[in-house]
Amino acid sequence: MSDTPQLHLGVALDGAGWHPAAWREPNARPDELFTAGYWLDLVRTAQDAVADLVTIEDTLALQSSRFEGPDERTDQVRGRLDAELVAARLAPVTQGIGLVPVVTVTHTEPFHVSKALATLDYTSHGRAGWQVRASAGASHAALFGRREVPELVPPFDIEDLKIAPFIQDVFDEAADAVEVVRRLWDSWEDDAEIRDVATDRFIDRDKLHYVDFEGKHFSVRGPSITPRPPQGQPVVTVLAHARVPYELAARSADVVFVTPHDHAGAEAILREVRDAEDRVGRTGLPLQVWADLAVVLDTPEESGADRKARLDALAGDPWFTDAVVVAGSAGAVADQIAAWHELGYAGVRLRPAVLPDDLALIARDLAPELRRRGLTRSAYDADSLRGLLGLPTDVPNRYATAR
């Protein structure tokens, strides 16, 4: 093993896979997408790869090929289970691996998010994380009817002066939501529960704290109704592509997932993330920056390139996504991962084109290749997600410290 820090490995799970035609493959299980057994099989395969974590995709509206709303297509997977509830179902029957559901904060009360994720940390014994998502879509807002938002019709630039104030407000609200969630996690001190039958005291009320948050979009007094999570602060992650989301990650997260497409872009993104940290005055540990990578791996019968071409033909269009797509051997994918790690990326999050096929190939071929190169761990060596990621595991409680 070199002196380079260990590479972290994540897997992003979404339906039948990230390719729009994935559900048509012979090994796909489209009739099981809404069953616990399907998701359990996926996470256990990711455990076989000794992945640090899985993220579970979710949004507030049906999947669509268009940003601005439903596309009415019937030839692609539509519909999802609630990601946080899926993670909660998987928590007691999985081991080692971190469970990181996507939870959207726009239109969602941070009090509910806080106690749901704290509960996940309890049921997983300290393996919970959270991928924060902000929603600027008018179709999402229409589901709730509480606010009017402008129609954003692609192509658009989120830094365009006409829409930039709205976009900034959405992400400022997301940052406030994360702050409230983090305060609520701390609103119980670790030893607030006394459980002393002799004195009739279950809790020490002096160790429960009001969070007293006042912001533009909500005010929250607290405390939470759920005791402080086992990790103290479950891991917070953000997917970011531009300045404003980079700043959200720098203000609020432990890990940021980014989407470089080439060597120069990968270097530029690292600089942008560090610049965002400087602009928001981040203190403490720097963000861990992970690169997202969509993969179509070789099988013994068919090359990754041929698989992608065949899937593209089924879908009717070449597959493009926000992340770079690599179709090829485990060795070729490992070369790309190693190059990004050498630049300074702390981890990589893989998006399997087809589930379960590409996930099984990650566990069978790619993960062993990464271990052979000394990049990743061979076994789970920490009892919490924070521990796996090398984050501090003894997280001070802000209210206990102040008291």
**Residues contributing to the annotated binding site:** 58
**Radius of gyration from C-alpha coordinates of the chain:** 21
Do 330 and 365 touch, CB atoms closer than 8 A? yes
Task: For residue 258, report the phi and psi dihedrals to the nearest 5 degrees.
Answer: -130, 170
Residues marked as binding for FMN?
Answer: 58
Q: How far is the CA of 76 from the CAs of 22, 23, 241, 295, 340, in angstroms?
A: 9, 8, 25, 19, 32
In sign, the C-alpha dihedral spanning 268, 256, 110, 46 is: positive
Residue with tokens 């610049």, as numbered in its chain: 275
Dihedral angle at the C-alpha atoms of 324, 325, 329, 334, nearest 10 degrees?
A: 20
Render 154-191 in DSSP notation, one character per residue.
Answer: SS--TT-TTTHHHHHHHHHHHHHHHHHHHHHHHSB-TT
Amino acid in the structure at residue 267: E
- CA 338 to chain centroid, in Å, comes to 22
Q: How far is the CA of 181 from the CAs of 84, 112, 132, 234, 359, in angstroms?
A: 15, 9, 11, 10, 32
Query: In sequence order, which ranges of 29-163 are alpha helices (DSSP H)?
Result: 36-48, 83-90, 110-123, 138-142
Q: Token digits for 12?
A: 């992003």
